[in-house]
Amino acid sequence: MQGKRVVVLTGAGISAESGIRTFRDNDGLWENQRVEDVATPRAWEVNPGRVWRFYQARRRQLSEVEPNPAHEALAELSDGLEHMVLITQNVDDLHERGGSQDVIHMHGRLETLRCEASGRYERRMKDSDLVDDFLECDCCADPQRVRPDIVWFGEMPMHMNEIYAVVDACEVFMVVGSSGHVYPAADLVHIAQANGAHTILVNAEPPLNVDYFDEVHLGMAGELLPGLVQGWLAPSG
Cα–Cα nearest to 10, from 162, 188, 158: 188
> In Å, what is the CA distance from 182 to each residue of 19, 43, 66?
21, 18, 25
Q: How far is the CB of 99 from ligand NAD (least distance, A)?
A: 17
Cis previous bond, 184, omega within 30: yes
Q: Angle formed by the axes of helices 221-233 and 69-80, to 10°?
A: 20
DSSP structure class, residue 136:
B
The one catalytic residue in 83, 107, 198, 217 is: 107
User: Quick one: 3 or 183, whose CB is closer to ligand NAD?
Assistant: 183
Q: How far is the CB of 143 from ligand NAD (least distance, A)?
A: 28
Q: Is 179 in the site for ligand NAD (CB under 6 A)?
A: yes
The sign of the CA dihedral 38, 154, 113, 95 is positive
Q: Is 9 in the site for ligand NAD (CB under 6 A)?
A: no
Nearest residue to ligand NAD on Cβ basis: 13
The sign of the CA dihedral 72, 77, 78, 79 is positive
Looking only at residues 204 through 223 of this chain, which bind ligand NAD when binding is defined by CB under 6 A? Answer: 204-205, 207, 220-221
Q: Candidates 5, 7, 9, 22: give the one binding ligand NAD (CB under 6 A).
A: 22
- Judge whether 107 counts as a catalytic residue: yes
Residue 160 CB neighbour total at 10 angstroms: 12
Q: How far is the CB of 146 from ligand NAD (least distance, A)?
A: 19
Site string for ligand NAD, 67-106 (x = CB under 6 A): ----------------------xxxx--------------
Q: Is 4 in the site for ligand NAD (CB under 6 A)?
A: no
Q: Candidates 145, 181, 198, 217: give the one binding ligand NAD (CB under 6 A).
A: 181
Q: CB burial class (10 A; 0-12, 13-18, 19+) of residue 116?
A: middle
Pair type for strands 121-123 and 108-115: antiparallel
Q: Is 23 in the site for ligand NAD (CB under 6 A)?
A: yes
Q: How far is the CB of 27 from ligand NAD (least distance, A)?
A: 11
Q: Are 90 and 11 in contact (CB under 8 A)?
A: yes
- What residues are annotated to the active site? 107
**Which positions touch ligand NAD (CB under 6 A)?**
11-13, 15-17, 20, 22-25, 30, 89-92, 107, 177-179, 181-182, 203-205, 207, 220-221
